[in-house]
Amino acid sequence: MNSTVLLVGRILLSIIFLVGGFGKLTGAEGFAGYLGVLGFPAPLAMAYLVGLFELAGGLAVLVGFKTTIAGYALAAFCIATGVIAHMAPDQMTTLLKNVGLAGGYLVLAAAGPGAYSVDARSSGARSSSRL
């Protein structure tokens, strides 16, 4: 697979978690209120944990670090958040967005990050793509 396409794909897939994670960390109280409505215990602590997970996952995908693990973790996260928070009829678009993102992260996990990544540099290979 073309490493330039994989790089562009990683950039696009990382944006939602970089922006979302940063937003959750800088506005944790608001997100904690939503988590409280969903019934999560310790919603403020959970808000910070989710924000850190999203930011770390977005950064890992962006730079291509531990890409397979990050891809699987973010795919599972997208499905879990879809099922937990977006099953209401008025949330169908958000649920489907999460399902689509999960598919993108699974493809990334299977394909690898490509040559322009930390994973490729650390392995010494020109390309870590598996396709």
Q: pLDDT digits over 13-33, tens only?
A: 999 999 999 999 999 999 999
More confident residue, 128 or 62: 62
pLDDT exceeds cutoff 60 at 52: yes
- Is residue 93 a part of any domain in this protein? yes
| The one-letter amino acid at 101 | L
- Is residue 130 a part of any domain in this protein? no
- Is residue 129 a part of any domain in this protein? no
Q: What is the pTM of this model?
A: 0.90
Q: What is the pLDDT of residue 125?
A: 53
What are the residue ranges of helices labelled H in the chain?
3-26, 28-37, 43-63, 67-85, 92-111, 118-123
pLDDT exceeds cutoff 60 at 130: no
Query: Residue length, the chain?
Result: 131
- Is residue 97 a part of any domain in this protein? yes
Containing domain of residue 60, as a range? 3-117
- Is residue 126 a part of any domain in this protein? no
Q: How many angstroms separate the CA atoms of 31 and 39, rounded?
A: 13
- Is residue 90 a part of any domain in this protein? yes
- The total domain count for the chain is 1
- Is residue 127 a part of any domain in this protein? no
- Is residue 123 a part of any domain in this protein? no
